């Protein structure tokens, strides 16, 4: 903390990876600057903003779609797959979240070495194809493979290269898709509702493929075992990885079960169908504001505050909420916090990693987070069955794991700043 009481910024000295090489003529050393440090990022202009537009479209179609899984959980349980248990149906959204995260190291490495163009194109085709196949599916295994596997792998491949500030796009998608799907299913049926969603995604991903390009030319590098395992030898990365693994167990429970839980608590069908949209609307403001505040007081500081609040809101508001008012308040507040969680995830890695390795390291964190994505819904279903359909145990599970995961991530901040509460990091 400086003498005037303002925040002081803490940097990671290990990230200064310019090297000194001996000068053959005079024996002195000169600095060798990596190519990525020589090129200044553009600030504005049509080319730069077109990439922002394309990235926003990608996040709308990927995270925005994944944030709408609660709509399908409710529809599958009540109509299309009503003969299956809730825990069995839960494998569909679980696989979506798992593949979205688990492919992270692969898509991150492809981005680091070859840029975003081909990844976005291939992922777009997979995502749209999976949804189109889901629209003609009538059996459990067909929906599992098309929506839970094919579409989700496409999502993973395309959202990794565009992750960051443009994550507000996923909030807008998370508002529009739930309302759109729930309004279309009674009017045109499940098949055409899915196709309509796929056509919207196809249009936006076409825009993304036409606008997204890398600022620097691809520079493929050989992959070594040492480079792949180095992040796992760093305490700072291990804490972030552990934190995100635990956070993923908790953060998707409200997204997946808010609508179903609202219906069971007596909220009308007309209102409950908008709960997920309300949550994602709150998420929009959380994602938008988190980045701006993080610039002022530090990424890790903001992340810790909002994620602690997310856990507290589950335990203090969602658990005692028995009617529409309390549930809506929770949806808005949790949405704001979960939005910040999503938008700051990559920034946490940027803060403690060298730039050429960011894609792989972000992907590595998502790989471990996919464990939570894969297992959280079946675990939730088992908890519901054990508690005879009441949601108390599931809510406690979500809140406690959010608090535990945030504590792990905050541990990385403490490694750099010690116990200084007023330090920008």
- What is the structure's pLDDT at 419? 77
Backbone φ and ψ for 99, nearest 5 degrees, come out as -70, -35
**CA-CA distance, 396 to 183, in Å (whole number)?**
32
- What is the structure's pLDDT at 122? 86
Q: Residue 186: exposed, middle, or buried by beta-carbon count in 10 A (0-12, 13-18, 19+)?
A: exposed
Is there a contact between 171 and 283 (Cβ–Cβ < 8 Å)? yes
Hey, where are the domains in the chain? 45-218+225-417
Integer angstrom CA distances of residue 212 from 54, 65, 152, 197, 258: 6, 20, 21, 22, 34
CA torsion 217-226-16-291 (nearest 10°) is: 70
- What is the structure's pLDDT at 23? 46
**Would you report the helix, strand and coil content of the chain in percent, each value rounded to 5?**
75, 0, 20
- What is the structure's pLDDT at 1? 45
Q: What is the model's pTM? A: 0.74
Which of 149, 143, 150 lies closest to 194 in space, CA to CA?
Answer: 143
DSSP characters over 338-388: HHHHHHHHHHHHHHHS-GGGHHHHHHHHHHHHHHHHHHHHHHHHHHHHHTT
Question: Could you list the mean pLDDT of each consecutive 10-residue stretch along the chain, which spans 425 residues?
Answer: 48 48 45 46 64 79 78 82 84 84 74 74 90 91 91 82 53 76 87 91 87 64 72 89 90 86 84 84 79 83 92 94 89 86 80 77 83 83 84 93 94 84 76
The domain made up of 45-218+225-417 has a fold known as Growth Hormone; Chain: A; (1.20.1250)
- What is the structure's pLDDT at 319? 93
- What is the structure's pLDDT at 402? 95
**CA-CA distance, 269 to 263, in Å (whole number)?**
7
**CA-CA distance, 423 to 175, in Å (whole number)?**
36
Structure token pair of residue 290: 């988190």
Q: Three-class SS of residue 423?
A: coil
- What is the structure's pLDDT at 171? 58
- Conformational region of residue 218, where left means phi above 0, alpha means psi within -120 to 50, and beta covers everything else: beta
Q: Three-class SS of residue 30?
A: strand
- What is the structure's pLDDT at 162? 59
């Amino acid at each position: 903390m400086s003498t005037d009481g303002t925040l002081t910024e803490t940097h990671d000295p290990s990230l200064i990876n310019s090297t000194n090489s001996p000068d053959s003529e005079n024996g002195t050393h000169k600095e060798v600057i990596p190519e990525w440090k020589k090129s200044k990022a553009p600030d504005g202009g049509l080319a730069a903003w077109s990439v922002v537009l394309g990235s926003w479209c990608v996040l709308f179609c990927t995270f925005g779609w994944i944030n709408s899984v609660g709509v399908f959980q409710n529809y599958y349980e009540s109509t299309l797959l009503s003969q299956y248990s809730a825990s069995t149906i839960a494998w569909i959204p679980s696989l979506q979240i798992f593949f979205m995260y688990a492919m992270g190291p692969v898509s991150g490495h492809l981005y680091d070495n070859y840029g975003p163009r081909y990844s976005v194109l291939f992922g777009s085709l997979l995502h749209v194809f999976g949804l189109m196949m889901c629209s003609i599916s009538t059996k459990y295994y067909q929906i599992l493979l098309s929506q839970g596997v094919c579409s989700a792998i496409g999502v993973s491949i395309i959202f990794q290269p565009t992750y960051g500030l443009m994550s507000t796009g996923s909030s807008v998608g998370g508002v529009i898709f739930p309302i759109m799907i729930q309004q279309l299913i009674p009017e045109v049926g499940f098949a055409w509702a899915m196709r309509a969603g796929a056509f919207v995604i196809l249009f936006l991903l076409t825009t993304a493929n036409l606008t997204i390009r890398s600022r620097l030319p691809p520079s493929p590098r050989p992959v070594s075992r040492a480079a792949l395992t180095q992040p796992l030898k760093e305490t700072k990365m291990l804490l972030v990885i552990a934190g995100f693994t635990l956070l993923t167990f908790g953060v998707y429970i409200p997204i997946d079960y808010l609508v179903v839980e609202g219906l069971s608590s007596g909220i009308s069908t007309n209102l409950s169908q908008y709960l997920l949209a309300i949550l994602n609307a709150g998420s929009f403001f959380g994602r938008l504001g988190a980045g701006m505040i993080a610039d002022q007081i530090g990424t890790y500081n903001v992340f810790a505050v909002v994620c602690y609040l997310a856990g507290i809101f589950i335990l203090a508001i969602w658990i005692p909420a028995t009617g529409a008012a309390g549930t809506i308040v929770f949806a808005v507040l949790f949405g704001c916090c979960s939005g910040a969680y999503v938008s700051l995830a990559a920034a946490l890695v940027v803060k403690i990693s060298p730039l050429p390795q960011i894609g792989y390291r972000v992907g590595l964190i998502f790989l471990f987070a996919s464990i939570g994505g894969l297992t959280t819904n079946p675990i939730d279903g088992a908890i519901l069955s054990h508690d005879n359909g009441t949601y108390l145990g599931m809510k406690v599970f979500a809140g406690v794991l959010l608090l535990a995961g945030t504590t792990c991530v905050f541990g990385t901040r403490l490694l750099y700043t010690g116990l200084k509460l007023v330090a920008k990091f």
